[in-house]
Amino acid sequence: MNRWLLYRKLLMCSVAINLFLIFLLTKEQWPTSLPNEQLHSLVDDVVSVDFNCHKLVNSKSVQSMFFLKTHKTAGSSIQNIILRKALLEDLSVGLTRQEADWVRLCPNTPFSRQCLCNAKELPVNVLAHHMLFNKSEVKASLKSDARYVSILRDPASLLYSAYTYFRWRERFNYSSFEDFVIRTKSTKKIDPLIVSFRNLMMFDFGLHPKNYEDDAIVDSKIAEIESTFDLIMIRDGEYFKQSLILLKNLMHWTVIDVAVVAINKMMSSAPKPVFSKSLTHHLLESNQADYKLYRKFLTIFKEKVKKFGAEKMKKELEELNYTTNKLANFCIAGTKPGSRNTTVYILSKAGEDNCYCRCVMVTYIP
């Protein structure tokens, strides 16, 4: 068994084999935009009969994509969308050599194609894991028509989410979130889990901690991101669903392709800190690179949404909400705590027997 089949087995267990058989038998095509009554009928059909995943194979969709999965930005949910699409369309995916850290490509260094277990099979269709971004090596690993996507989040809420998720208070003896922010304000050190204590997003984009305060290098990195990425999604508030619509249209996907439930979401969160003037000042001071990145691409994102059109966005959001609610109500019976108190979904009886439910609910991080 080759490594890609092994990966699919690891990812979806028996689902992959069933899907592969379906791909051999039939591939129905359907347009990227449907009238509501046709859309609702299709959603009902997909979630009501086992092995209807073949209805989601779409020959018009873009076949190659890079997703830089940033930390604590709903990246696991976007990764779910992308990797299940790769599975459904039988696309090749770049995978790490290290089985113990299979969710990250090149755990301790900037990304290199040599970190991939299937490096001899390059270029692949999809890269969609955590990494320290390295443009030249990513480009060398993907097909030339790949679309580049990532996602950002408000730096203050992102940092607090990381603080709780990675248990920095317990692991490093901070008395509070503000104490953590103050004590790491100038640090160049990173968590042994290869997560930066500040400017987390710029770190994921490949900015070395020694350059956090170098405005010229920061600006150059942001310019590189702007010239490289086709879409920078935004995690916060209403922007997230708008991001899904922009992703759908960029990739020529359908609304069912981007219907997603929150993956790796915390079951319960500690009370959020009061962002006092003092705390806000320290956050801005210690995360200037991330704030500059976020503000730049929030502005670009808003321009994309405006250009997309208010009425068109409203219609597509209605379709997305209908589809997501339909899938969730059909597939999910409840939730339970998983690793690090994250949400694990309990499939309904009907969901257990439905291939797409199993795809939508799978968690890619152990």
**Beta strand pairing status for 332-337 and 231-234?**
unpaired
- Give 311-354 pLDDT, tens digit per residue: 999 999 999 999 888 888 888 888 777 666 667 778 888 888 88
Contact between 221 and 205 (Cβ < 8 Å): yes
SS3 93: strand
Instruction: Give me Rg for the CA atoms of the chain.
Output: 20
pLDDT at 283: 95
Contact between 111 and 138 (Cβ < 8 Å): yes
- Give 34-77 pLDDT, tens digit per residue: 455 555 555 555 544 433 555 556 667 899 999 999 999 999 88
Q: Chain-wide mean pLDDT for the chain?
A: 81
For residue 123, is the peptide bond before it cis, meaning its omega torsion is within 30 degrees of 0?
A: yes
pLDDT-derived band at 270, boundaries 50, 70, 90: low
SS3 130: strand
SS3 101: helix
Mean pLDDT of 355-360: 78
State percent of the chain over pLDDT 70: 76
Provide the 8-state DSSP code for 274. P
Contact between 348 and 332 (Cβ < 8 Å): yes
The structure's pTM equals 0.82
pLDDT at 108: 76
Provide the 8-state DSSP code for 366. -
pLDDT at 269: 55
Start-to-end Cα distance in the chain: 23
User: Rounded to an integer, what distance in angstroms lies between the CA atom of residue 14 and that of residue 352?
Assistant: 12
Among 116-120, 211-215, 222-226, 314-318, the least confident range: 116-120
Cβ atoms < 10 Å from Cβ of 114: 11
- Give 237-250 pLDDT, tens digit per residue: 999 999 999 999 99
